[in-house]
Amino acid sequence: MSDTSAPQRLPLRQVWPETQAAHYRAAGYWRGETFPGFLRVRAAAHPDAIAVVGGAVRWTYAQLWAEAERIAAGLLAQGLAPGDRVVVQLGNVPEFIAMVCALFRAQLVPVYALPAHRLTEVAHFARKAEASAYVCAEKYEGFDYRTLARELQREVPAVRHVYVVGDGAEFVSVAALDGDRAALPGDPDPQSVAFLQISGGSTGLSKLIPRTHDDYIYSFRASNDICGIDRDSVYLVALPAAHNFPMSSPGFFGALYAGARVVLSPGPGPDVAFPLIARERVTCVGLVPPLALLWADAAGKTAHDLSSLRVVQVGGAKLVPEAARRVIAGLGCTLQQVFGMAEGLVNYTRLDDPHEVVIQTQGRPISPDDEVLIVDDHGAPVPEGGTGHLLTRGPYTIRAYHNDPAANARSFTDDGWYRTGDMVLRTAEGNLVVQGRATDHINRAGEKISAEEIEDHLLAHPQVFDAAVVSIPDDFLGERSCAFVIPGEVRPRPAELKAWVRGRGLAGFKVPDQIVFVDAFGTTAVGKVSRRELRAQLRARFLAEQGA
C-alpha cells in the first residue's frame, strides 16, 4: 500500500565517494555524532552550566534541551513529519538556537534565511527546498515578518505552517507549541543532511547547501581546537546567527559543543556589544572587516571593560594588512583571520602564528585532508606562489548543491572539486592569501551580492534599457555596488531605481549603493563582449575617471 499523503519531494543527499568517506571515518573526522546526540550529552553532563544568554534569557544546558524537546514535540503534534523542511528567519535571539535544536531533535530540516532577506529571497528558499513551514519573528529590527509570512503563503502555498516568535496573530506562537515527548524520533543517521545553508550566491539566486551531521560537527569540533574554545569560553554572536561564520567557525555550535557559553548580541555595533562583553566576560567573537575597524576605534574610547576578550576573528571579506594592524592595536588581543565559505572549506591563521602571517595571510585549512588546488584559467596548476583559481575538496566541503543541476555543473569538476570562485596564492608555509575573485559578485562588508541577480531586477524596470552591476572599492564597506544603467526614453531618478529594487522584495543590502547613467556600454562591437568583460570595462573606466 502506498501512502498518498506523503509529499513527493526531492530527497536531501550529500554523498562523498566511498573510499573518501571510509578515510574520513578512519581518520576520526566523521565520528557518527549528530546534533541531537551531542546536545543531549551536554545537557546530561553539565545541566546547570549556562548555555545561551540573550535578552532576558539565561538558559542552562538542561533548559535549552528541554526547550528544544518541547518545541520539537509541538511541531510534530502540528502535523509536521521528519524530513520536512522549515525555513527559519530569526535574528540574534535565544529562540533561534532553541528552534534549530528543536528541528534537529524532530528530524526536521532547517533552511537558514537571514533577517535581511525579503519575500523574493524567502520564497526562493521555500520553493527550492520544498519547505512546508516558515518560522519568523513577530518583529525584528522594525520589520514586520508576519506580513512577509502572509505574502509567502500566497506565493508558495506549500508552506502550510507558520510559527512566530512573539505574538502569533492568526499563526501559531512558538511559545504555545507543545506535544508528546514520547512521539519524538530517535537520533538521525549521522550521514544524513542536517540542514540547508544558503550560498553567497555569486551567480544568480542563492543556492542551497546540504550539510550533514558528521561533516558539519567535524568542522566546528576541529575549529574549537584551532580557536581555543573550551568549557570556560564565552562566545559572542555579533554577526547574524544564521550565517555560517558565527554559526560554526567555531561559532555558537562550536561553543555549545564545548559546553561553553553563547551570548547573543542583538546588534553588531560597539554600543550594543561592548556592554555585553563586559557583563558576560566574553572571550571570543567573529567580525567582518568594517566592523572590526569600528570596534578597534571605539575600544580606545569606551568605559566598558573589554579585558576578557582573547581572540577577535575577522573574516567574510578581505582584511587588508593595514586594517589588520589597526585591529590588533585597537583591541589589544589576538587577531585570527578566517577565510571560509558556507560550502565548506574554512582557513584560519593559528593563534600562535608569527605576527606577519596573521597580518598578511588568510590562514590555512582546518583539516590535513582539506585538498587545495590552485589553477590557471585552463585548469593547469600554477607554479608554487603564483595566483590562480582556488579549487577544494575535503571532509566538510560539499560535492553538490541541492536541486540545482546547472549550478552543480558550473561549480564542481567531474572529480568532485568545488570551484570556490576565489583567486588566491599560497605562501611557502602553506597559508592562503586571497587576491580577488573570478566571479562577478560584490562582497559588501561580507554580504555577497550577485551582479546578475540585481541586473535582472533593474532590467524589469520599464525605463531601463540595459544595466550592469559592478563592485567599486569602498573605504568603509570594502566594496560597494554600483549599477551602470542605460536609460530608456525617460531617464528615471536614481532614488526611483533604488526604490524599485527594494520594492521587488529584495534584502536591503542588495539595493545598489550608487547608480551611474551612461549612454552606451562602450565601443566594443555589440554582442561580442561577455557580461563579465563588460562589467570589467565599465568598472575600469569609472575608476579611471574617478582617479582623474
Residues near ligand OOB (CB under 6 A): 200, 244-245, 249, 315-318, 337-342, 346, 362, 420-422, 434, 437, 443, 446, 448
Q: Return the number of the residue (201 or 330) whose C-beta is nearest ligand OOB.
A: 201
Number of H helices and number of E strands within the chain?
17, 27
Whole-number minimum distance, CB 451 to ligand OOB, in Å? 14
Whole-number minimum distance, CB 285 to ligand OOB, in Å? 13
459-483 burial, b for 16+ CB within 10 Å, e for fewer? eebeebebbbbbbbebeebbbbbbb
- Residue facing ligand OOB at closest CB distance: 340
Whole-number minimum distance, CB 251 to ligand OOB, in Å? 8
Whole-number minimum distance, CB 78 to ligand OOB, in Å? 32
Assigned C-alpha cell, 177? 507549541
235, 275 in Cβ contact below 8 A?
A: no
Q: Return the number of the residue (161 or 211) whose C-beta is nearest ligand OOB.
A: 211
Q: Return the number of the residue (113 or 434) whose C-beta is nearest ligand OOB.
A: 434
Whole-number minimum distance, CB 341 to ligand OOB, in Å? 4
Whole-number minimum distance, CB 421 to ligand OOB, in Å? 6
Residues sharing a CB contact under 8 Å with residue 210, sequence separation 6 or more, in sequence order: 12, 13, 14, 193, 195, 196, 398, 400, 401, 402
Q: Which long-range contacts (CB under 8 A, 24 or more apart) does 44-50 make?
A: 45/259, 46/231, 46/259, 49/231, 49/259, 49/261, 50/261
Q: Return the number of the residue (152 or 335) whose C-beta is nearest ligand OOB.
A: 335
Whole-number minimum distance, CB 439 to ligand OOB, in Å? 8
Q: Return the number of the residue (338 or 372) whose C-beta is nearest ligand OOB.
A: 338
Whole-number minimum distance, CB 491 to ligand OOB, in Å? 34
Q: Return the number of the residue (88 or 497) whose C-beta is nearest ligand OOB.
A: 88
Whole-number minimum distance, CB 229 to ligand OOB, in Å? 15
Whole-number minimum distance, CB 422 to ligand OOB, in Å? 5
Whole-number minimum distance, CB 315 to ligand OOB, in Å? 4
Instruction: Choose among 160, 150, 166, 39: nearest CA to 104.
Output: 39
119, 134 in Cβ contact below 8 A?
A: no
395 CA to centre of own chain: 19
What CA–CA distance (Å, rounded) separates 99 from 67?
Answer: 8
Whole-number minimum distance, CB 430 to ligand OOB, in Å? 16
CA dihedral 257, 263, 269, 274 (to 10 degrees): -120
- How many CA atoms lie less than 13 Å away from 378 in the CB half-sphere? 2
Q: Return the number of the residue (94 or 446) whose C-beta is nearest ligand OOB.
A: 446
167 burial level (CB within 10 Å; 0-12, 13-18, 19+):
exposed
Whole-number minimum distance, CB 302 to ligand OOB, in Å? 26
Q: Return the number of the residue (147 or 435) whose C-beta is nearest ligand OOB.
A: 435
What CA–CA distance (Å, rounded) separates 129 from 12?
Answer: 9
Q: Return the number of the residue (36 or 340) whose C-beta is nearest ligand OOB.
A: 340
Q: Return the number of the residue (107 or 249) whose C-beta is nearest ligand OOB.
A: 249
1 CA to centre of own chain: 42
342, 207 in Cβ contact below 8 A?
A: no
Q: Return the number of the residue (306 or 432) whose C-beta is nearest ligand OOB.
A: 432
Assigned C-alpha cell, 4? 498518498
Cell 568605559, residue located:
303
Instruction: Name the pairing type of β-strands 478-487 and 447-450.
Output: unpaired
Q: Return the number of the residue (318 or 480) whose C-beta is nearest ligand OOB.
A: 318
- What's phi and psi for 393, nearest 5 deg? -140, 160
Strand runs (DSSP E) across 258-333, as ranges? 261-264, 284-287, 311-315
What CA–CA distance (Å, rounded) separates 313 from 282?
Answer: 13
- What's phi and psi for 507, nearest 5 deg? -55, 140
Q: Return the number of the residue (340 or 394) whose C-beta is nearest ligand OOB.
A: 340
